[in-house]
Structure 1
Amino acid sequence: MAPAYKLTYFDFTALGEPIRFLLSYGGIEFEDNRIQRANWPALKPSTPFGQVPILEYNGKLAYQSIAICRYLAKQVKLVGKDDWEDLEIDATVDTITDLRLKFAQYIFERDEQAKKEKEKSLFNETFPFYLGKLDAQAKKNNGYLVGCRLTWVDLVFTAILDFFNFMIKKDIITNFPNLQKVKENVEKIPNIKAWLEKRPKNVSH
């Protein structure tokens, strides 16, 4: 029998990986439908808004990666203990998204001169500012980003970090020990550890 969930995304980590982390954490079997870029133009018109990831469940389609993550977090009980804590989680996830979008502007810049300027800004200003603030937040929460315990934002951060590090070929949290602790706390979870061991190794992140 086919799994109830089917995730469709490209054959790398990026926006698909937080979803894979959450499904794996919950021990939820899913079809990991990885599409090749060459096949994307043919598939794109059939998607709700011309983008992936898409999560299918019992014939229903969900889109928008963070919305999918928030839904799955409820399914696997990784949400806040109250509305205020949910707000803190959402704000931190949005902050990580802000950082990811600034990073993407650099990665996908085609003009070499503009890229050099963005690289300087990214490494001298953006990363130190965002990662410094998040590190202080993780220190206050004893190695987690919210609530002094594991929530879905920790999984989102660790999964997205993987993509950052791969794209620039360095570990951006080397100087941020509390974020290193967040990563360690996520990666030592048995189901996450098992996913990291079994996920495809021969693909770009």
Structure 2
Amino acid sequence: MGSGASKGGSYKLTYFNGKGRGEVARLCFAAAGVKYEDIRVEQSDWPALKPKTPLGFLPVLEVNGKELTQKLVVDRFLAGQFGLFGSNDMEKAKIDEVMTTIADFTVDCTNPLFIKEESAKVEAVKSIVNTKLPAIMAYLEKTLDANLTNSGFIVGGKLSVADLTIFFFVDTLGNLSSTAIDKYTKIKDLSAKVGAINSIATYVANRKKTPF
């Protein structure tokens, strides 16, 4: 996406050339139909850029020349800008709960991707899928049961950043194991619903292909 100014001003998102901790922010932009500068940093360029960032890591979001960092801060800010953060304090808290829980667990999900020895990688994936994943999926499905409306979204009868976070989480799990979420049909259905939204489907179809 190119640069532009709307719904709050001029936006520039800086992250590595991958999905990772920058992808939910990109999904927020896609869902809202808001243009932004999608700055993708190659690893070779990172040492020179790192000292110029607020805390020495990415993502960094620049809004009208002012910088924000920390993934969840960026995601929450954009969600608030674009009407994706609920309609009352309880909805906001539930959205935040989902986002924070998934952010904590995603670290576990991505660690095996960096293991080079294949047998060790297989064992690490098996441990996550069999011992850690069931608890978080039970939490997400319970959350769906408690909050689901006829719309099929987490809160408020409409799309929120919680749904976008779950959508990306399912994508991340797919990289970990092609069968990891087969039995979690409620989560699969929610993810499919988000993925079928025209703006999201268009973004996913056209986004840069990266391994993770």
Q: 1:165 aligns with which of 155, 162, 174?
A: 174
Per the alignment, residue 97 of structure 2 pairs with 91
Cα RMSD (Å) of the superposition? Answer: 2.3
Judged with a 3 Å threshold, the aligned counterparts in structure 2 of structure 1 residues 121 and 25 are, in CA distance, closer, same or farther, namely: same
Query: What TM-score do you get using the length of structure 2 for normalisation?
Result: 0.85
Judged with a 3 Å threshold, the aligned counterparts in structure 2 of structure 1 residues 54 and 136 are, in CA distance, closer, same or farther, namely: same
Q: Secondary structure at the match of 1:45?
A: helix
Contact kept, 8 Å, 2:125 with 2:177, in 1: the verdict is: no
After TM superposition, give the deviation of residue 116 of structure 1 in Å: 6.2
Query: What TM-score do you get using the length of structure 1 for normalisation?
Result: 0.87
Q: Which runs of 5+ in 2 are unaligned?
A: 5-9
Q: Which runs of 5+ in 1 are unaligned?
A: none
After TM superposition, give the deviation of residue 190 of structure 1 in Å: 1.6
Contact kept, 8 Å, 1:14 with 1:160, in 2: the verdict is: no
The number of residues matched between the two structures is: 203
Looking at both structures, which has the greater relative contact order when contacts are Cα pairs under 8 Å and sequence separation is at least 6?
A: 1
Judged with a 3 Å threshold, the aligned counterparts in structure 2 of structure 1 residues 200 and 120 are, in CA distance, closer, same or farther, namely: closer
State the identity %: 32
Distance 1:95 1:55 in 2: 22
Contact kept, 8 Å, 1:13 with 1:162, in 2: the verdict is: no
Q: Secondary structure at the match of 2:37?
A: strand
Q: Secondary structure at the match of 2:103?
A: helix
Q: Secondary structure at the match of 1:29?
A: coil
Q: Secondary structure at the match of 2:24?
A: helix
Distance 1:17 1:2 in 2: 17
After TM superposition, give the deviation of residue 80 of structure 1 in Å: 1.8
Contact kept, 8 Å, 1:24 with 1:191, in 2: the verdict is: yes
Q: How does 1:11-160 map to 2 (within 5 A)?
A: 11-108=17-114, 118-140=124-146, 141-142=148-149, 143-160=152-169
After TM superposition, give the deviation of residue 191 of structure 1 in Å: 1.2
Q: Secondary structure at the match of 1:15?
A: helix
* 2:186 maps to 1:178: yes
After TM superposition, give the deviation of residue 138 of structure 1 in Å: 2.1
Distance 1:197 1:113 in 2: 33
Q: Give the stretch that moved more between structures: 113-122 or 43-52.
A: 113-122
Contact kept, 8 Å, 1:14 with 1:159, in 2: the verdict is: no
